[in-house]
Amino acid sequence: MKRITVGLAGGLILMLLAGKVNAFAAGGTAESGHERTGSITINYYDDADGKKSVSGAGFRAVKVGEARDGYDVYPFTSLIPGLTIDETTKASDAAESLKIFFETGKSLVTYELKTDQNGLAAVSSVEPGVYLLEETAAAVHHRASEPVLLTVPYMEEDGSEWNYDVRVAPKPVRTGDLKITKTVGGNAGDREKRFQFKVMFGENGRFPYTSSDGRSGNVSSGGTLELADGESILISGLLEGTEYTVSEIRANTDGYTTEMKNNEGRIVYGEAADCRFTNIKNSVPPQSGGSSQGSSPGSSKAGTVKTGDDTDAVIPAVLFFTSGGILAAAGLLYGRRRRHS
């Protein structure tokens, strides 16, 4: 029997199928020819040993092809116009063709699945055929895994029998979040002022964000966001291990001192990186001991003596007697010069 190899890199890993879609005899086993149905079971785990399950993930299995009898050729007939199912068919191409097909209002046999708290989802009474399995609703802190093509039934690797119970293990694509918080402090800090931040990510794409004041949108690497005092923004769906950098566009300007915490790092699965910015601004207090217009250091207003202030009274008295002494000395010196002349 010949097999169709499909593009599974980075997507779902088919247990027992070794990454291949097997041709089968339509309508039953190779031996009996009796019609029967099968099942599809999803085992979704975050780790290889199956101890950490992924719950709440939604999937759909859509029948996109039928099988023809005969093993000398690839015996598949596509149910989607324009889509050929052979050894070169990629699951991503089939998914795109199916999307366009559904947009025309047409339908195909579809089975819906959702993983439970143990990461399990199953559907029975599945018609034989070629199926496209897609994750339609990603679990929390996950992105949707890549689609995959499979058949019900499939031939065991050793060629011993047809197996109608297909088991699939999706490859998880794990994500984390980035939270940016702004605080303004100091006696001159403007609590209403909006500060701009530039975010840089080590991956492409647009990522959703929500703010504490109800704003929402999408941001890509190199984009800018605004925050005022007490506000925060949560950016979601960043791939695990993604490097990030957040910078305040006008840090340490306009009299503010900018303090940063966790403004760069890597995204951790299931967690929100806590990035904090604090801007502090204080007014400059008047300097003590300085002189003001119309006064001299250490005194009250010029020419005014406070009643009962002995210190201030002494100064003009000293100046008076000192100046009088200077005038007397000048008069004596002038008289002596007159007598000698």
Say what the pTM is. Answer: 0.71
Q: What is the DSSP string of 293-328?
A: TTB-TTSSBTT---TT-HHHHHHHHHHHHHHHHHHH
Q: Kindly state whether residues 155 and 180 are assigned to the same domain.
A: no
> pLDDT confidence of 287, banded at 50, 70, 90?
low
Q: Kindly state whether residues 86 and 220 are assigned to the same domain.
A: no
Q: Kindly state whether residues 42 and 133 are assigned to the same domain.
A: yes
State the average pLDDT over residues 78-100: 93
> pLDDT confidence of 327, banded at 50, 70, 90?
very low
Sign of CA dihedral 90, 95, 96, 100: positive
Q: Kindly state whether residues 158 and 188 are assigned to the same domain.
A: no
Residue 14 has pLDDT above 60, yes or no: no
Sign of CA dihedral 123, 142, 102, 25: negative
Q: Kindly state whether residues 203 and 160 are assigned to the same domain.
A: no
> pLDDT confidence of 6, banded at 50, 70, 90?
very low
State the average pLDDT over residues 293-315: 43
> 4 near 20, Cβ under 8 Å?
yes
What pLDDT sits at residue 36?
A: 86
Residue 33 has pLDDT above 90, yes or no: no
What pLDDT sits at residue 162?
A: 86
Residue 110 has pLDDT above 90, yes or no: yes
Q: Kindly state whether residues 162 and 268 are assigned to the same domain.
A: no
- Domain hosting residue 44, numbered range: 3-171
Tell whether 183 is covered by a domain: yes
Q: Kindly state whether residues 42 and 91 are assigned to the same domain.
A: yes
Query: Which of residues 256, 280, 304 is at a domain's end?
Result: 280
State the average pLDDT over residues 112-117: 97
Q: What is the DSSP string of 136-173?
A: EEPPTTEEPPBPEEEEESEE-TTSS-EE-EEEEEPPPE
Q: What CATH code is carried by the domain that includes residue 189? A: 2.60.40.1140
Domains in the chain: how many in total?
A: 2
Q: What CATH code is carried by the domain that includes residue 106? A: 2.60.40.10
Q: Kindly state whether residues 145 and 183 are assigned to the same domain.
A: no
Average pLDDT along the chain: 79
Q: How many C-beta atoms lie closer than 10 Å to residue 156's C-beta?
A: 13
Residue 135 has pLDDT above 80, yes or no: yes
Cα distance between residue 151 and residue 134, in whole Å: 14
Distance of CA 14 to the CA centre of its chain: 30
pLDDT tens-digit profile of 151-201? Answer: 999 888 887 888 999 999 999 999 999 999 999 999 999 999 999 999 999
Cis bond leading into 285, ω under 30°? no
Q: Which range (62-76, 160-174, 231-245) has the least confidence?
A: 62-76
